[in-house]
Amino acid sequence: MPDDAAAAVVSGALAPEWLALPDDPNDLAPGVWPASAHRDADGALVIAGIPAPELVRTFGTPVLVLDEDEARDRARRTLRAFGDAAARHGGRARVYYAGKAFLSTEVARWMIDAGLNVDVCSAGELAVALAAGVPASRIGFHGNNKRVFELERAVEVGVGTIIVDSDIEIERLAAITERLDRRQTVLVRVNSGVHAETHHFLATAHEDQKFGFTLEAAERAVERIHELELVDFAGLHCHIGSQIFGTAGFRESASRVLELHARLLEQERFTATGADGSVEPVLNLGGGFGIAYTRADTPTPIAELADGIVDAVADECAVRGIPLPVLAFEPGRSIIGTPGVTLYEVGTTKSVQVDTGSAVAERRYVSVDGGMSDNARPALYGAQYSARLASREGVEGPVLSRVVGLHCESGDVVVDHEYLPGDVTPGDLLAVPATGAYCAPLASNYNHVPRPPVVAVTGGTARIIVRGERIEDLLARDAGIDTGSAVAEGEE
């Protein structure tokens, strides 16, 4: 340790390379926040016309705030981007909103209003979509282990497309469609061997993962489907990963999948028909379009992404002399991620000094009243987020901070690295942007912490779209409370 330790304390020494020291630790990085986000005259964060302190007075903390216009706008823009890109090649595109990113009846309705379809992957998600009034024909049903009752339900209600994932599932569907005497359209999920994550993609002969068929196995699966009376084959499906920037991975994957698609056309395997009764081959390339969690993330704008992917598919089709299939996409995060902002209250702060050998580095821990129970992504994936004071602007300069939750676990991190104003103090509100996707759906009750409400905001008004839990909700599940359990009685 240096002799004069106090003088040698360096605030930013523990900062990762990607985190730039901001001129103003109160600024709102463009692209990371909903477009409506700004600060009012008091310095408070405003979302969709409502200051954060007002939202918190009404709904408490933590609260997940969804900017409704931002979500609807992203949905519309996504559909337009892919629709326009396909139209330039004389084709058509469909967009399925991936409900796993966040699903409630309200959000499902926003998506349907915007012209999207909805992709679900469990009986629960299917129930939400149906409760929202989503026409069954506009639902796609995913999953590597759809249970028999789920497949039955899907066929019974007339789900538009089931994306089949295994030979066993094909046999189950064969039996179910016969038993119910109903036709069912399917896509076959293939594992193209391409896996993309953010800036890189990996292309292997076979990917070692649970989803889909290898390209060879898919050809045999389609042959089997062809034998089935009541199962119509619409095309292939492929999802290469999540939080993807750029189009290279999609291009590589589409190229591989189209080779099989072309062979299946030759074999006349496509039997599902479109609205006009003619056979309508589909190619579904999944979702995975990346968003900005921090200012270091620079996602490709959706229109550019759509053009790049669709042009690549059209090129590959031209090379093979085949018509452009109806293209389908399944974005979740890129639609609902950025509209979400989580508001927390700061409870405690403390500074920790770390001797790095050459200097004493300092990190400030800012504890908030939520954590891995409302956002598991940092703990699960090492995901990076950003944060800003939401109740006011700080007056002191930037201090390297780590925002942590209240759970009894040291991995309970909300924002790993962020520069926050030096005067962050208990009672301040803190906002974490880009929490609309894969936060509420992955929420837990760890440490018996109730899950927060989800509030939609638009044009200066706010309403609860998913109510928060109370401790009573958690106690209600405990069979030893209320009823006076048999064990307790027996012991008396």
Using rule CB under 6 A, residue 377 touches ligand LLP: yes
Query: Residue 249 and residue 255: Cα distance in Å, rounded?
Result: 10
For residue 161, the cross-strand partners are 140
Using rule CB under 6 A, residue 53 touches ligand LLP: no
Using rule CB under 6 A, residue 99 touches ligand LLP: no
Residue (78 or 367) nearer to ligand LLP, CB: 78
Nearest CA-CA partner of 19 in 294, 254, 262: 294
Residue 208, CB half-sphere, CA atoms under 13 Å: how many? Answer: 0
Residue (117 or 242) nearer to ligand LLP, CB: 242
Q: Which two tokens stand for residue 209?
A: 């993962």
Residue (26 or 300) nearer to ligand LLP, CB: 300
Query: Residue 240 and residue 191: Cα distance in Å, rounded?
Result: 8
Using rule CB under 6 A, residue 97 touches ligand LLP: no
* Cβ burial 458-491 (10 Å sphere, 16+ → b, else e): beeebeebbebbeeeeeeeeeeeeeeeeeeeeee
Using rule CB under 6 A, residue 287 touches ligand LLP: yes
Size of the site for ligand LLP (CB under 6 A): 19
Is cis: bond before 62, omega within 30 of 0?
yes
Residue (61 or 161) nearer to ligand LLP, CB: 161
Position among 62, 249, 299, 332 found at the interface with ligand LLP (CB under 6 A): 332
Using rule CB under 6 A, residue 438 touches ligand LLP: yes
Using rule CB under 6 A, residue 18 touches ligand LLP: no
Using rule CB under 6 A, residue 381 touches ligand LLP: yes
Near ligand LLP by CB under 6 A, which window of 8-16, 98-106, 386-394, 409-417?
Answer: 98-106
Residues taking part in catalysis: 408
Position among 98, 196, 327, 406 found at the interface with ligand LLP (CB under 6 A): 98
Near ligand LLP by CB under 6 A, which window of 170-178, 180-188, 281-289, 305-313?
Answer: 281-289
Least distance (Å) between residue 95 CB and ligand LLP:
11
Query: Residue 95 and residue 326: Cα distance in Å, rounded?
Result: 11
Near ligand LLP by CB under 6 A, which window of 169-177, 227-235, 326-334, 470-478?
Answer: 326-334
Site for ligand LLP in 237-266 (CB under 6 A): 239, 242
Near ligand LLP by CB under 6 A, which window of 47-55, 284-292, 412-420, 455-463?
Answer: 284-292
Near ligand LLP by CB under 6 A, which window of 9-17, 269-277, 285-293, 354-362?
Answer: 285-293
Query: Residue 354 and residue 9: Cα distance in Å, rounded?
Result: 9
Residue (304 or 423) nearer to ligand LLP, CB: 304
Q: Residues 6 or more apart from 429 whose CB is under 8 A from it?
A: 45, 52, 53, 56, 61, 343, 344, 345, 346, 389, 390, 391
Near ligand LLP by CB under 6 A, which window of 93-101, 128-136, 195-203, 464-472?
Answer: 93-101
Residue (152 or 330) nearer to ligand LLP, CB: 330
Using rule CB under 6 A, residue 330 touches ligand LLP: yes
Q: Which two tokens stand for residue 372?
A: 């891995």
Query: Residue 190 and residue 171: Cα distance in Å, rounded?
Result: 17
Site for ligand LLP in 187-246 (CB under 6 A): 239, 242
Provide the mask over 125-164, with x wherever binding to ligand LLP is found by CB under 6 A and - wherever it is not. Answer: -----------------x----------------------
Using rule CB under 6 A, residue 74 touches ligand LLP: no
Using rule CB under 6 A, residue 286 touches ligand LLP: yes
Residue ranges in contact with ligand LLP by CB under 6 A: 98, 100-101, 142, 239, 242, 286-289, 330-334, 377, 381, 437-438
